[in-house]
Copies of this chain bind each other. A is one copy, B any other.
Amino acid sequence: MPETDSVFETAVLLVDCPDRKGILAAIADFIYLHGGNVLHADQHQDNKRGLFFMRIEWDLKDFDLDRKSFQEQFEPIARDFQIDWQLELSRDIPSVAIFVSKYQHCLVDLLYRHQIGELKCKIPLIISNHPDAQVVAGHYGIPYHHVPVEKGHKQEAESAQVELLRQHSVDLVVLARYMQVLSGDFVSAYPRRIINVHHSFLPAFSGAQPYRAAFERGVKLIGATSHYVTEVLDDGPIIEQDVVRISHRDQVEDLTQKGRDLERMVLARAVRWHMDHRILCYGNKSVIFD
């Protein structure tokens, strides 16, 4: 994907509406008439359901609308085509909270990518139910909040977590091998804004101990899956998956080791695509505009 964001200020419009003739023309015209130079446009139709999806990105240099006037001017088109839309500006850097438990490989990976500029976001805080990752957080200069989750007191813990997220105006929650199941209340407060990584190629081996289950079944590939969290465990829209080959020589520990590399790549891609506004969900599936 082109690195235009680093050069220009750009806007991304995500569009979700019933399919109808003229949508592309209407939107392309609108952007052109207001001085925008389209950098990328990608669309997708679901013919069976009659749905239209689009991601369109343009250079803001000569664009004559700000966010507020865009809303006013675009509204008639949106109404006409029944468009569900979302405007994102490259200058609005999202705030990301990372949740972690004891395994730190995904956390370390995300923090390093952030440090070298691969992830264009702020990370105002890390939240963990364990104190272990404090040192790593310190090395990368990110405030660390230890919120223990004790049996029977998950609700208090979640209240504390949500309060922290609100204080820091968090846009996206990344579960970097966070081993607690979030409640429905928590999940519904951040719809399509919580990304998890599960260490199997879902839907195979959902739930606990997927590497052990994969070992027992004798599969020849293991996988990892990043997905949006919904109220049903391991069932949200899949964003990215990848696999690696294993053999009979690999024990559960070897699967765990090989899987770590998968997990961190699959999670990092999902986080990057989310922040680049490349993901649209409908039903329980994702469209990735790459």
Which chain A residues have a beta carbon within 8 Å of chain B's beta carbons? 1-4, 6-7, 19, 21-25, 28-29, 31-33, 35-45, 47, 62, 104-105, 108, 112, 116, 118, 139, 201-205, 217-221, 223, 237-243, 245, 247-251, 253-254, 257, 261, 265, 283-288, 290
Docked-complex contact A288 and B25, CB < 8 angstroms: no
A32: which B residues are within 8 A, CB to CB?
21-22, 24-25
Name the prevailing secondary structure of the A interface residues: mixed
A29: which B residues are within 8 A, CB to CB?
25, 28-29
A237: which B residues are within 8 A, CB to CB?
218
A217: which B residues are within 8 A, CB to CB?
202-203, 238, 284-285
Given the known interface contacts A2-B251, A108-B112, A288-B248, the answer about A202 and B221 at a Cβ–Cβ threshold of 8 Å is: no
A37: which B residues are within 8 A, CB to CB?
19, 21
Complex: chain B residue closest to A32, CB-CB: B25
A284: which B residues are within 8 A, CB to CB?
217-218
A105: which B residues are within 8 A, CB to CB?
112, 116
Complex: chain B residue closest to A52, CB-CB: B38
* Cα A203 to Cα B112 with chains together (Å): 30
Docked-complex contact A203 and B204, CB < 8 angstroms: yes
Some 24 contacts from A to B, beta carbons below 8 A apart, are A1-B249, A2-B47, A3-B251, A6-B253, A21-B38, A24-B24, A24-B41, A25-B33, A25-B38, A38-B43, A41-B43, A42-B42, A42-B43, A105-B116, A201-B219, A201-B223, A201-B243, A202-B204, A218-B238, A218-B284, A218-B285, A221-B242, A243-B243, A248-B285
Docked-complex contact A248 and B286, CB < 8 angstroms: yes
Docked-complex contact B218 and A221, CB < 8 angstroms: no
Min CB–CB distance A209 → chain B (angstroms):
14
Docked-complex contact A261 and B265, CB < 8 angstroms: yes
Given the known interface contacts A41-B43, A204-B203, the answer about A219 and B248 at a Cβ–Cβ threshold of 8 Å is: no
Min CB–CB distance A139 → chain B (angstroms):
5
A257: which B residues are within 8 A, CB to CB?
118
Given the known interface contacts A43-B40, A116-B105, A261-B265, the answer about A288 and B203 at a Cβ–Cβ threshold of 8 Å is: no
Docked-complex contact A247 and B288, CB < 8 angstroms: yes
Min CB–CB distance A248 → chain B (angstroms):
4
